C-alpha cells in the first residue's frame, strides 16, 4: 500500500483544517498539498510545504536588476528572459518540500543531487516494511550493447518469468532473514543497524526532500529526460506535474528552454551557420568528432 493508515489519517486531518495566511500562495500547489501521488508499485510523492510562486521569482529579479528589467512588460516575459539567459538566483527564491517513498536503489541515484536537504527514514531506529519494488514485465530488459548504463531489448516469455521469480524470491528470503535476526524469540536479537545490511536494494525507503526551484529544475532536466532510468524518471515526471501547477510561467519556460531546447558548441554553431549559407558541411569538414557530428545531426533532424 502507498501509505500507512496512520499517514492517511494525518493527511486527512491536515487537509480538513485549512488556515488563513498572509503569505503568497499558489492556487495550483494548494490543491496538491499533502495529497498522495502514487509512483511505481508501492511508492509515492506528496507535497508537504512550499514557498513562493511565479511572482516571487519576478520580485527577486526586479530587486536585483532594478531598471535593467523595466523593458520587460510582464511577469511571464521576465521569467522567460531569466530562464533564457541562465539566471539562477531568482529561481532560488521558491522552495518545495516533498515526502517521497522510493526504492533504495532509486534513492541512491537521487541523492547524487547534493543541492537539497534530506532526512531519510532510519532503519537503525525503525523496522522497514516488507515492501519491494518488483518491475512489471515490460520494464525487464537486457543490458544494452551500446550503452553501459542503459537497457536493451525487453525480456519476454520464460526468461522474463524466471527473472521475476528470482527478484521476488530473493527479496522475500532476505526479509525473512532480516525479521529472524531482529526478533527476540527468547534471545537478544541482532541490532537493527546491523540487520538492515542484508536487505536488498529494491526495498522501499522514505524521506523528506526540500529543494529550491533552481536546483529542482536541474534535477528534472536530468531525471525527467527520456534517457534517464525508468524507475527515477517516473518520479521526476510526477514532480513535473506538481511544478507545472505551482509555477506555471517558470515551468513553461523550463519546458521551452531546457527540456525542449538544445545547447550547441561553438563548432556545432559554426556548422549550422555554414549550412544556412548554403555550404555543404560533412563530418570531415566540420571540425567535430564522429560522435559530436552524429549528435548534431540528431538535433537537426
Rounded percentage of the chain residues whose pLDDT exceeds 70: 92
Cα separation, 258 vs 262, in Å, equals 7
Rounded percentage of the chain residues whose pLDDT exceeds 90: 71
pLDDT digits (tens, 9 = 90+) for 167-187: 999 999 999 999 999 986 656
Cα separation, 300 vs 281, in Å, equals 13
3-state secondary structure at position 169: helix
Q: Who wins on pLDDT, 297 or 147?
A: 297
- Check if 274 is active-site: no
- Reported confidence tier of residue 33, pLDDT bands at 50, 70, 90: very high
DSSP state of 255: I
Q: What is the pLDDT of residue 84?
A: 94
Q: What is the pLDDT of residue 64?
A: 65
| 273 assigned binding-site residue | no
| 122 assigned binding-site residue | yes
- What does pTM read for this prediction? 0.89
| 285 assigned binding-site residue | no
Asked whether residue 231 carries a pLDDT value surpassing 80, the answer given is yes
Asked whether residue 66 carries a pLDDT value surpassing 80, the answer given is no
Cα separation, 150 vs 182, in Å, equals 37
Asked whether residue 67 carries a pLDDT value surpassing 60, the answer given is no
Asked whether residue 29 carries a pLDDT value surpassing 70, the answer given is yes
Other residues' Cβ atoms within 10 Å of the Cβ of residue 265 = 12
| 177 assigned binding-site residue | no
| 42 assigned binding-site residue | no
Q: What is the pLDDT of residue 184?
A: 64
Q: What is the pLDDT of residue 281?
A: 94
DSSP state of 300: H
- Reported confidence tier of residue 42, pLDDT bands at 50, 70, 90: very high
| 21 assigned binding-site residue | no
Q: Given the DSSP bridges, would you call strands 43-51 and 37-39 parallel, antiparallel or unpaired?
A: antiparallel
Catalytic residue among 130, 223, 258, 273: 223
| 124 assigned binding-site residue | yes
Half-sphere exposure of 124 (CA within 13 A, CB side): 1
Half-sphere exposure of 174 (CA within 13 A, CB side): 20
3-state secondary structure at position 100: strand
Asked whether residue 117 carries a pLDDT value surpassing 60, the answer given is yes
Evaluate whether 249 touches 26 at the Cβ level (below 8 Å).
Answer: no
- Which of 19-28, 69-78, 250-259, 266-275 is predicted least confidently? 69-78
287: left (phi over 0), alpha (psi -120 to 50) or beta: left
Cα separation, 227 vs 56, in Å, equals 32
Which residue blocks in 85-135 are alpha helix, DSSP H?
104-110
The stretch 76-97 carries a mean pLDDT of 95
- Reported confidence tier of residue 21, pLDDT bands at 50, 70, 90: confident
Amino acid at each position: 500500500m502507498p501509505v500507512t493508515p496512520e499517514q492517511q489519517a494525518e493527511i486527512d486531518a491536515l487537509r480538513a483544517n485549512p488556515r488563513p495566511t498572509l503569505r503568497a500562495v499558489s492556487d495550483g500547489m494548494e490543491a496538491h498539498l499533502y495529497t498522495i501521488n502514487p509512483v511505481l508499485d508501492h511508492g509515492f510523492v506528496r507535497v508537504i510545504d512550499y514557498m513562493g510562486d511565479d511572482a516571487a521569482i519576478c520580485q527577486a529579479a526586479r530587486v536585483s536588476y532594478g531598471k535593467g528589467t523595466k523593458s520587460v512588460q510582464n511577469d511571464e516575459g521576465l521569467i522567460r528572459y531569466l530562464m533564457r539567459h541562465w539566471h539562477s538566483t531568482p529561481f532560488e527564491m521558491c522552495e518545495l518540500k516533498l515526502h517521497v517513498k522510493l526504492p533504495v536503489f532509486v534513492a541512491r541515484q537521487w541523492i547524487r543531487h547534493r543541492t537539497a536537504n534530506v532526512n531519510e527514514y532510519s532503519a537503525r531506529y525503525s523496522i522497514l516494511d516488507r515492501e519491494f519494488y518488483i518491475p512489471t514485465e515490460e520494464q525487464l530488459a537486457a543490458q544494452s550493447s551500446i550503452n553501459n548504463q542503459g537497457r536493451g531489448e525487453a525480456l519476454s516469455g520464460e526468461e522474463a518469468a524466471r527473472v521475476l521469480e528470482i527478484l521476488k524470491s530473493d527479496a522475500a528470503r532476505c526479509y525473512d532473514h532480516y525479521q529472524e535476526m531482529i526478533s527476540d524469540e527468547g534471545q537478544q536479537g541482532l541490532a537493527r543497524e546491523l540487520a538492515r545490511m542484508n536487505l536488498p536494494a529494491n526495498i522501499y525507503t522514505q524521506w523528506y526532500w526540500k529543494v529550491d526551484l533552481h536546483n529542482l529544475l536541474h534535477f528534472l532536466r536530468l531525471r525527467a529526460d527520456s534517457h534517464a532510468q525508468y524507475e527515477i524518471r517516473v518520479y521526476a515526471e510526477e514532480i513535473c506535474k506538481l511544478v507545472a501547477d505551482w509555477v506555471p510561467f517558470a515551468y513553461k519556460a523550463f519546458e521551452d528552454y531546457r527540456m525542449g531546447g538544445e545547447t550547441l558548441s561553438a563548432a556545432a554553431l559554426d556548422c549550422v551557420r555554414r549550412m544556412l549559407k548554403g555550404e555543404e558541411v560533412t563530418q570531415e569538414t566540420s571540425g567535430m568528432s564522429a560522435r559530436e557530428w552524429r549528435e548534431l545531426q540528431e538535433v537537426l533532424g
